[in-house]
Structure 1
């Protein structure tokens, strides 16, 4: 490993990530960026701290890219190699992929103006088109929200009915009249492992304006409660519209880390919001070998 690999820290509405620039796949190959290293990087006391890790790498250097991208693999120059804070691979992250594009632009790997029409990026949830807005934000086509049943989450002995929604990863979106700010999300909510064999992200949602504005808190599998979740915002917006018997609409989503906008259409979902780099530096050899 390079003695002093570069690292970046950034976030999208305070959903924060350790970002590893590795365009040619030589600094952080799979056998080096293992689950233990991801956990060390994301440790908020002994590491850099983050909800996950994003490796910025060309698709050609990702061994499982052909399997997850299929016929689209040649169209995706870049791949968002995303790991949860516990070291597991993650399919997709709406906040993370906006930050991913921001890093590509900031590192001079893509021109921002050329990104306004959108760039196809590979993820383990499939290809996603992400683009820059003229006002400095970023948008991502998250693909269609796909409901796949009803279930409930349990929290502190209370049941919260919800809608199971796939955004490339599984969600349980629970609308509730209980103010979400009063809920204790220190522990993982209970859920039905039969419906969610690989775990689930749980959204607790207050409707502020029917079909137009919601407040959201999220417990992400493999991470815990996060300040924001892009796929969770999309699932929550879809569930809020479905509760009003609406198939389409634009919903403002307030999360602890800020505000996102979700446009739900007949065939896809578009998430828009900010992305920000906070710092850049190098990992010290003493930490890498410690």
Structure 2
């Protein structure tokens, strides 16, 4: 078994990446919840918001169930786990990094990715592509509103829209000072509305419209199974949708500033497209000493 690992991020939403094209280097028995948590631990491990295993779909046991008839067109599967070891459905920052790794590892030619390639996720198939400017884009699917709810943080209530991007979000627009909020403690939420947990976005509108965009917003997010992250791709999409709805529409382009950088979201009636960078920071080997610990 190879102990080779990569570290990368998309707008500072960072991941430990495990190249495993043929599904033999990091099988399910090796990549259990305890191993994921150790890899993601920021002092005793490598550090990351999650783990991405780069593997062909045919080697993922649950891929047929989550992809159905789309299994054949998804050669690659983003096997994504949160920092606590739980399985994750979808991550917009992670899937851009996933494609970047496929390209930099020589598993796909960048020129073949211009129009997008299909990647399997536990949230369903996603089409992701590489722009000539080094920016990656991903078709995130439609933003699906499924009600309204609230989150409680430090005794303060934040009302928001429940939005599914393949995973659940509570997108809360607020005039609170985002910098003053403590997101170290998980927000309280309605477990009946979100039985599998929820990512909570706290959003301020900077401008109702800006040059080339219909809105410009700022975002902080607490991700289930992780905590506060520097960026969240699905969260940016949910936040963009909520900001547009608050402005009286459900379609448009939104610039989203997150602590780790800037993303752009195009929200349409049938789908949502997320654009942003992806970077591999380092590559190396896990040592026998650490693995034996």
For Structure 1 versus Structure 2, the TM-score category normalised by the shorter chain is: over 0.9
Report deviation, 1:131: 0.2
2:289 — aligned with what? 286
Report deviation, 1:60: 0.6
2:110 — aligned with what? 112
Structure 1: where are the runs of 5+ without partners?
Answer: none
Alignment of 1:176-215 (within 5 A): 176-210=174-208, 211-215=214-218
Structure 2: where are the runs of 5+ without partners?
Answer: 209-213
Q: Deviations over 1:194-253 (max 9, x none)?
A: 000000000000001124100000000000000000000000000000001112100000
Of residues 16, 19, 22 in structure 2, which corresponds to 1:18?
16
2: CA distance between counterparts of 1:287 and 1:182?
Answer: 38
2: CA distance between counterparts of 1:57 and 1:86?
Answer: 21
1: CA distance between counterparts of 2:3 and 2:184?
Answer: 34
Q: Deviations over 1:126-154 (max 9, x none)?
A: 00000001100100000000000010010
Report deviation, 1:48: 0.3
Alignment of 1:130-141 (within 5 A): 130-141=128-139
Is 1:239–2:239 an aligned residue pair?
no
Report deviation, 1:163: 0.3
2:211 — aligned with what? none
1:250 — aligned with what? 253
2: CA distance between counterparts of 1:179 and 1:213?
Answer: 16
1:229 — aligned with what? 232
2: CA distance between counterparts of 1:250 and 1:179?
Answer: 24
2: CA distance between counterparts of 1:269 and 1:156?
Answer: 32
CA RMSD of aligned residues (A): 0.6
2: CA distance between counterparts of 1:46 and 1:78?
Answer: 30
Of residues 44, 48, 51 in structure 2, which corresponds to 1:50?
48
Q: Deviations over 1:166-195 (max 9, x none)?
A: 000000000000121111111000100000
Alignment of 1:154-173 (within 5 A): 154-173=152-171
1: CA distance between counterparts of 2:220 and 2:104?
Answer: 30
| Length, aligned pairs only | 288
Report deviation, 1:286: 1.4
1: CA distance between counterparts of 2:232 and 2:217?
Answer: 14
TM-score, normalization by structure 2: 0.98
Is 1:129–2:132 an aligned residue pair?
no
2: CA distance between counterparts of 1:132 and 1:27?
Answer: 27
1: CA distance between counterparts of 2:132 and 2:245?
Answer: 31
Q: Secondary structure in 1 aligned to 2:172?
A: strand
Structure 1 segments of 4+ aligned residues over 3 angstroms from their partners: none
1:266 — aligned with what? 269
Q: Secondary structure in 1 aligned to 2:48?
A: coil
Q: Secondary structure in 2 aligned to 1:16?
A: strand
Q: Deviations over 1:109-131 (max 9, x none)?
A: 00001101000000000000000
Is 1:77–2:75 an aligned residue pair?
yes
1:95 — aligned with what? 93
